[in-house]
A and B are shown apart, each in its own frame.
Chain A
Amino acid sequence: MKRLLILLLMIFAAPAFAQDTMPPAPYAYRQLDNPAQEEKAQALMETLRCLKCQSQSIADSDAPMAGDMRSQVRERIAAGEDPEAIRAWLVERYGDYVSYAPRVTALTWPLFILPVVLLVLASLLLSRRFRRGGTE
């Protein structure tokens, strides 16, 4: 019971604290109170590139810019925006480079054809091998 009380106190106290110090990126190191929303935000953040780092997502970086972007993502999720809409907004702002989930474009289509090509190649290879093998 006491534990629950502390927890509740902390949950309700947090926004009040945040207001009197109000850093520029309030949600850089703070989770959303709604677990479902936080999970959504986390999933999105893990697929966005920290532009100031060498191959890290914004969910894995201490860089100030990553913090700013995390805060942006969380605020927008909290405002009810769709994760993919946020991604699109970031891509528009920073270019395709910011998203670890490549879109299908005139430039990236080979990436998405590849598994199909590999599947065809694999089945060709296997069927040839086994047809020859089967007719001994």
Chain B
Amino acid sequence: MIAEFGLAALWLAAALAGLQLLAGALGLTRGGAALGAIVRPVAIVQGLLALIAFVALIVLFCQTDLSVKLVAMNSHSAKPLIYKFAGTWGNHEGSMLLWVTVMGLAGSFVALVERRLPEPTMLATLAGQAFVSLGFYAFLLLSSNPFERMPQVPTEGQGLNPLLQDMGLAFHPPTLYVGYVGLSIAFSFAIGALITREVGPAFARAMRPWVLGAWIFLTLGITAGSYWAYYELGWGGWWFWDPVENASLMPWLAATALLHSVSVLAARNALRAWTIMLGVVAFSMSMVGTFLVRSGILTSVHAFAVDPERGSFILVLLAIYIGGALTLFAVRAGSVSEGERFAPVSREGALVFNNVMLSAVLGIVLFGTLYPLVAEAMGAKVSVGPPYFNPMSALFVVPMLLVMAVGPLLRWRRDGFARVRAILVIPALLVVLAAIGVAAWGGIGVLPFIGLTLAGGLAVASLLPLRGRSLRRTPLATWGMVVAHLGVAVALFGMASESAFSVEKLVAARVGDTTAVGPWQITLKRVRPVAGPNWTALEADLDASYDGGKATAVHPQARFFWSPPQPTSESALLTRWNGQLYAVLGEEADDGRWQLRLWWKPFVTMIWFGGLMIGLGGLLALLGRVASDLKRYVARGKIAYRRERQGR
């Protein structure tokens, strides 16, 4: 019953998306103004219906209703409730339903609160949002129905991949999806503005909070995903340039560029076409990412050919939306002038430079991710991994970071380096000192070396915009920028430190043995069996003492899930302010010794602290912008009200 209810809600939502598109389009014509009035309410109800469908699926998963095929294939009655719940989106159909739900709700949210866009642009935007939604509803209903029933109800479900049975999974994908799909708003805004040709500071100010919001979620989602991979996969790697990781990084790169260019547009009425272009590209990258992850093409081009229906479906959607948007851009961009001019050495100049650098990194990541597919289609299998991505992206990231240190200090329109040279002495000196220090330490790779030396200077430089300001009167948005840029320096430091100073120790230890890892002494106390709701495990009791200090107990586990049968290793982490101890229990050797994998990773946590700070910076900026927008809105309302009264 619930399944049918959910399916009905989904069909209704799809039908309303059709209506929204139609009414929005007709509303733009001369005779259809009346129809335009229903677009907002329709958009709101459409999002709610999608949410109802999604909630129905959650209920089915929580009840473990095995008559529903998706539940039977991906869940199990013995799973803890939280993973039944989170398992809703741990599979293809469920995650696509989450996708359209977020898309629908994003449209509802815009329809509900956005009052600054001119009405025609608003109609075109909501119609664009509905147009994109419609394709994904069709995809879900025609080729990935999450509510399909089983002809025969099985006695037990097949369970969820144990790697995904983790709190990280409960929150990482939804966060990422809100970011991913939230970018659809920027896309629809760009389409709307292209249709009505209304691109200017007012449009940018309306668009900015939406971009910021999506970008915050994307940042947090990527950070959480990186941490999940770090502790759950059991080898301490936090980024591998894996296609799935790249799929989330590409929209982030585009959104970061968009975020900065929309600020230029809002403040200076410049970079009009470029901003619109980035709005289109950012969400296009989200869709490309979805295609890569959801089509099965990543395992192999041939796997794609075996079950081509879903992949081809998304590919057609991509062609329609990205192709369509780019065509519209090509046709209309000429009539959207680039706007105000500025000198190379100016705030805008620095922002443009970094926009171009970010786009170049995006180009590298996109090309490097897709190239193995191209090569395989031509008959050869190649791999493109960290040895390619690291240096190639650094080529553009390093100049970008340098400009990032200077940019916020420059004035709009026109400035000279002479003015900021004196201020930059401190960070520059720090970079030099760090370089000498790190070089003296020795034995460090080129990239970690650059990272370590830049990080300190960057941290100081990112604080410089606060110099000479009254801290209490500094606008929130400025604080946001400072915190986010500082976050970049912090994350960079973490990354460089992890790759330069990590100590790894693989040992076969008897009970009672002590091993040294960096400053740590690790003693294996015992290994004992433990059991969970749907797994059994061997758990090691390790005593870890730092630099001869008091011992702390850590408990890595080698788990064996029995549905589906799969071993996983649950790493144990011990966090100090200056890094993390990472312990993994391996197999037992014939002679009674246990394999232990131990790492000491100095300052590794800075990677994710940095990520959080970047997100927090975004949040501060968002709050600052929304507050000042509200203030302006209220003030304008008061003036209008007063005028009206005087008029009478």
Chain A residues close to B by CB (< 8 Å): 3, 6-7, 10, 14, 17, 20-21, 23, 29-31, 42, 46-47, 49, 54-57, 59-62, 95-102, 107-108, 110-111, 114-115, 118-119, 121-122, 125-126, 129-130, 132-134, 136
Within 8 A of A (CB), among B492-544: 504-508, 513-516, 521
Closest to A121 in B: B360
Within 8 A of A (CB), among B359-407: 359-360, 363-364, 367-368, 371, 375, 378, 380-388, 392, 395-396
Q: Are B343 and A31 in contact (CB under 8 A)?
A: no
CA distance A3 to B515 in the complex (A): 9
Q: Are A42 and B504 in contact (CB under 8 A)?
A: yes
Q: Are B514 and A115 in contact (CB under 8 A)?
A: no
Q: Are B235 and A61 in contact (CB under 8 A)?
A: yes
CA distance A54 to B300 in the complex (A): 10
* Interface membership of B593, Cβ < 8 A: yes
Contact for A21 among B341, B359, B590, CB less than 8 A: B590
B82 partner residues in chain A, CB cutoff 8 A: none
Q: Are A47 and B344 in contact (CB under 8 A)?
A: no
What's the least CB distance linking B389 to chain A, in Å? 9
Closest to A124 in B: B356
* Interface membership of B623, Cβ < 8 A: no
CA distance A95 to B383 in the complex (A): 10
A133 partner residues in chain B, CB cutoff 8 A: 341-344, 349
Q: Do A60 and B240 form a contact, CB below 8 Å, given A100-B384, A118-B364? A: yes
Q: Do A122 and B586 form a contact, CB below 8 Å, given A95-B381, A130-B343? A: no
What's the least CB distance linking A1 to chain B, in Å? 13
CA distance A59 to B599 in the complex (A): 13
CA distance A68 to B453 in the complex (A): 38
CA distance A115 to B359 in the complex (A): 12
CA distance A29 to B360 in the complex (A): 40
Given contacts A132-B341, A133-B342, 12 further A-B pairs with CB under 8 A are A3-B521, A42-B504, A47-B385, A47-B386, A49-B385, A55-B242, A55-B298, A96-B380, A100-B387, A114-B363, A118-B360, A122-B359
Contact for A60 among B233, B341, B514, B593, CB less than 8 A: B233
Q: Which of A29, A96, A110 is most buried by chain B, counting CB atoms within 10 A of its CB?
A: A29
CA distance A122 to B355 in the complex (A): 10
* Interface membership of B168, Cβ < 8 A: no
* Interface membership of B289, Cβ < 8 A: no
Q: Are B234 and A62 in contact (CB under 8 A)?
A: yes
What's the least CB distance linking A121 to chain B, in Å? 8
Q: Are B299 and A130 in contact (CB under 8 A)?
A: no
B611 partner residues in chain A, CB cutoff 8 A: none
* Interface membership of B630, Cβ < 8 A: no
Q: Are B375 and A107 in contact (CB under 8 A)?
A: yes
Closest to B371 in A: A111
Within 8 A of A (CB), among B580-598: 586, 589-591, 593, 595, 597
Chain B residues close to A by CB (< 8 Å): 233-235, 237, 240, 242-244, 298-299, 341-344, 349, 352-353, 356-357, 359-360, 363-364, 367-368, 371, 375, 378, 380-388, 392, 395-396, 504-508, 513-516, 521, 567, 569, 586, 589-591, 593, 595, 597
Q: Are B591 and A21 in contact (CB under 8 A)?
A: yes
Q: Are B384 and A102 in contact (CB under 8 A)?
A: yes
CA distance A133 to B593 in the complex (A): 70
A108 partner residues in chain B, CB cutoff 8 A: 371, 375, 382
What's the least CB distance linking A109 to chain B, in Å? 11
Contact for B506 among A6, A29, A122, CB less than 8 A: A29
CA distance A99 to B386 in the complex (A): 10
CA distance A130 to B413 in the complex (A): 12
Q: Are B382 and A134 in contact (CB under 8 A)?
A: no
Q: Do A17 and B352 form a contact, CB below 8 Å, given A29-B506, A49-B383? A: no
Q: Which 7 A-B pairs have the closest CB atoms?
A: A100-B385, A101-B387, A97-B381, A60-B235, A130-B344, A55-B242, A118-B360
Q: Are A97 and B383 in contact (CB under 8 A)?
A: yes
Q: Are B349 and A17 in contact (CB under 8 A)?
A: no
What's the least CB distance linking B212 to chain A, in Å? 25
A42 partner residues in chain B, CB cutoff 8 A: 504
What's the least CB distance linking B337 to chain A, in Å? 12
What's the least CB distance linking B267 to chain A, in Å? 16
B514 partner residues in chain A, CB cutoff 8 A: 3, 6
CA distance A37 to B299 in the complex (A): 33
What's the least CB distance linking A86 to chain B, in Å? 14
Q: Are A97 and B590 in contact (CB under 8 A)?
A: no
Contact for A100 among B356, B388, B396, CB less than 8 A: B388
A56 partner residues in chain B, CB cutoff 8 A: 233, 240
What's the least CB distance linking B66 to chain A, in Å? 28
Q: Are B516 and A107 in contact (CB under 8 A)?
A: no
Q: Are A114 and B364 in contact (CB under 8 A)?
A: yes
Q: Do A115 and B364 form a contact, CB below 8 Å, given A130-B343, A130-B349? A: yes
Q: Are A122 and B382 in contact (CB under 8 A)?
A: no
Q: Are B382 and A107 in contact (CB under 8 A)?
A: yes
Contact for A107 among B352, B378, B385, CB less than 8 A: B378
What's the least CB distance linking A41 to chain B, in Å? 11
CA distance A132 to B368 in the complex (A): 33
B505 partner residues in chain A, CB cutoff 8 A: 31
What's the least CB distance linking B64 to chain A, in Å? 28
B375 partner residues in chain A, CB cutoff 8 A: 107-108
Q: Are B357 and A122 in contact (CB under 8 A)?
A: yes
Q: Do A17 and B593 form a contact, CB below 8 Å, given A7-B516, A96-B383, A102-B383? A: yes
CA distance A130 to B342 in the complex (A): 8
A129 partner residues in chain B, CB cutoff 8 A: 352
B363 partner residues in chain A, CB cutoff 8 A: 114, 118
Q: Are B235 and A55 in contact (CB under 8 A)?
A: no
A122 partner residues in chain B, CB cutoff 8 A: 356-357, 359-360, 396
A-B contact pairs, 6 of them (CB 8 A): A55-B298, A97-B381, A114-B364, A115-B364, A126-B356, A133-B341
B344 partner residues in chain A, CB cutoff 8 A: 126, 130, 133-134
CA distance A102 to B381 in the complex (A): 10
CA distance A46 to B298 in the complex (A): 20
Q: Are B506 and A55 in contact (CB under 8 A)?
A: no
CA distance A42 to B590 in the complex (A): 26
Contact for B240 among A20, A55, A121, A132, CB less than 8 A: A55
A21 partner residues in chain B, CB cutoff 8 A: 589-591
Q: Are A99 and B341 in contact (CB under 8 A)?
A: no
What's the least CB distance linking A46 to chain B, in Å? 7
Q: Do A29 and B586 form a contact, CB below 8 Å, given A3-B521, A60-B235, A111-B368? A: yes
What's the least CB distance linking A75 to chain B, in Å? 15
Q: Are A47 and B387 in contact (CB under 8 A)?
A: yes
CA distance A6 to B510 in the complex (A): 13
What's the least CB distance linking A12 to chain B, in Å? 14
CA distance A102 to B367 in the complex (A): 13
CA distance A62 to B559 in the complex (A): 13
Q: Which of A6, A10, A30, A129 is most buried by chain B, counting CB atoms within 10 A of its CB?
A: A129
CA distance A111 to B391 in the complex (A): 13
